[in-house]
Copies of this chain bind each other. A is one copy, B any other.
Amino acid sequence: MNFLIIGGDAAGMSAASRAKRNQPDLDVTVLEKTADVSYSACGMPYNIADPDRSIEDLVVRRAEVFRQKQGIDLLTGIEATSIDPAAKSVNTRDADSQARTFRYDNLLIATGAAPITPAIPGIDLPGVMVLKSLAHGRAIKQFIDQWAVRKTVIIGMGYIALEMCEALRERSIAVDMVKPRETFLPWMEERLAEQVKAEAESKGVGVHPGHAVEKIEKSNGRLAVVCPTLTLEADLVLVAIGVTPASDLAVAAGLQTSVDGAIAVDAHQRTSNKDIYAAGDCADAFHVVTGQRTWIPLALRANRAGWAVADNVCGIDRRLAGVVGSAVFKVFDLQVARTGLNEAEARDAGLEPAAVVIKSRSRAHAHPGASDIWVYMVGDRGSGRLLGVQMVGRDGVAHRLHAPAVALHGHMTVEQFSQMDLAYAPPFGPTWDPMLTAANQLLKKL
């Protein structure tokens, strides 16, 4: 039997490795259009922050290891151009435009997501860059060194934009952020979002929401990002306005897609064609809280879904639970985390949300070194269920968030969550953990 995989990043290589572990005599072929496989994409901002580290440090496992130690037929520099589900084959071309066709018994589409670039004049100028693949990271790092970049404009204010702020400031490079929408982090509760904005500004980042970029121009050997009432100069412009599922191949092959154009999959990661799976940033997932399809491209899910596909291909029945939308990122010294729904998302899902925002402390009464922790908690008036949590703080936020994520998976009510026996010691929080305080407050509103 033959298992063919399009895409050699998190989902694709996880699937390939696990399939060979499950069934060493399985023919596993991976088609990767770039030269890079299996690297820590999420680590790129932190690597860029350090001029002394090579971007190649982010490679988790080299292609040779997959080939020689694991027996995976890993082909780099080969791009899939179309899938023929009737013939059960994939057409490809290589760097020299040589065509080649691969047959499959089971196919995994793990093509990931592609950065969105706005269709504005100057988007193709040298020095206007995106950050998605290792090649992008390599290019950014090289560009910074080669042109001794001192000033950057980031278009977009999502988590990659914010992580890149920190990375660039770490190298003493000036940063301005700009985006059309007035709201800084629209998915985040306002008072929490204010903390994040204040943190970025306190580290010297210029935050300019409400400015749509019209064009990027060359200007005195530099670049100029031009908005109607604002022009920002830069040596480097980073476009970080989001990603879109790389589902073109799947669409052309007639596979069903869903939210944001992601490839629709079932709990086995199977697409609308029974011999074709999809996993990673190109595939959708079920949201545990809404019960609806959602598209949240994140690394853990990609790895997990890759494993699940490998198991199912090898005849081990593996159904994945849904996602709850957990995410965390670091903005300088601030940890920013979310899981589940905010009020707007809850209303969109037909729920009746009530919410609270509380400010508590990271350590016990009178314990030195405490800092603020902000908690936003959303519950459903109808069922009493916990719907979502957002948190911002300098200490203990990232890992605290795991608890409400588990509670969401368990369909717990706010009242049940308020009764959790959470561990307490003075260096790690108040007796009533900030999340319990939020739950106690929210209970009064449900």
Binding site for B on A (CB under 8 A): 10, 40, 42-43, 46-47, 50, 57-58, 60, 288, 298-301, 303-304, 320-330, 335, 337-339, 364-368, 396, 398-407, 409-410, 412, 416-417, 419-429, 431-433, 435-436
5 further contact pairs, Cβ within 8 A, besides A300-B431, A323-B421, A330-B425: A43-B367, A58-B365, A321-B420, A330-B428, A338-B423
12 contacts between A and B (CB under 8 A): A46-B427, A300-B421, A300-B433, A322-B421, A328-B428, A330-B427, A396-B398, A396-B399, A403-B403, A403-B406, A405-B423, A410-B410
Q: A-side binding surface: helix, strand, loop or mixed?
A: mixed
Given contacts A326-B423, A329-B425, A330-B427, contact A40 B366 (CB under 8 A): yes
A372 to chain B, nearest CB (A): 16
Q: Check if B60 sits within 8 Å of A422, measured CB to CB.
A: no
Given contacts A403-B405, A409-B416, A410-B410, contact A328 B425 (CB under 8 A): yes
Kindly report which residue of chain B lies nearest to residue A410, judged by CB atoms. Answer: B410
Given contacts A402-B433, A407-B410, A421-B300, contact A426 B42 (CB under 8 A): yes
A258 to chain B, nearest CB (A): 18
Kindly report which residue of chain B lies nearest to residue A396, judged by CB atoms. Answer: B399
Neighbouring B residues of A404 by C-beta, 8 Å: 406
A249 to chain B, nearest CB (A): 25
- The complex places the Cα of A324 from the Cα of B416 at a distance, in Å, of 14
Given contacts A40-B366, A367-B43, A367-B46, contact A405 B428 (CB under 8 A): no
A419 to chain B, nearest CB (A): 4
- The complex places the Cα of A323 from the Cα of B421 at a distance, in Å, of 6
Kindly report which residue of chain B lies nearest to residue A440, judged by CB atoms. Answer: B307
Neighbouring B residues of A428 by C-beta, 8 Å: 328, 330, 335, 398-399
Kindly report which residue of chain B lies nearest to residue A285, judged by CB atoms. Answer: B421
Q: Check if A402 sits within 8 Å of B419, measured CB to CB.
A: no
A389 to chain B, nearest CB (A): 11
Q: Check if A424 sits within 8 Å of B367, measured CB to CB.
A: no
Given contacts A43-B366, A365-B43, contact A421 B403 (CB under 8 A): no
Q: Check if A326 sits within 8 Å of B364, measured CB to CB.
A: no
Neighbouring B residues of A417 by C-beta, 8 Å: 406
Q: Check if A424 sits within 8 Å of B368, measured CB to CB.
A: no
Q: Which 10 residue pairs across A and B have the least CB separation, nearest first?
A: A410-B410, A402-B403, A328-B423, A399-B399, A398-B428, A326-B423, A321-B419, A406-B406, A399-B400, A323-B421
- The complex places the Cα of A321 from the Cα of B419 at a distance, in Å, of 6
Q: Check if A398 sits within 8 Å of B425, measured CB to CB.
A: yes
**Which one of B368, B396, B424 contacts A46 once the chains associate, using CB atoms below 8 Å?**
B368
Kindly report which residue of chain B lies nearest to residue A56, judged by CB atoms. Answer: B366
Q: Check if B298 sits within 8 Å of A424, measured CB to CB.
A: yes
Neighbouring B residues of A326 by C-beta, 8 Å: 421-423
**Which one of B58, B405, B410 contacts A422 once the chains associate, using CB atoms below 8 Å?**
B405
A333 to chain B, nearest CB (A): 11
A329 to chain B, nearest CB (A): 5
- The complex places the Cα of A424 from the Cα of B328 at a distance, in Å, of 6
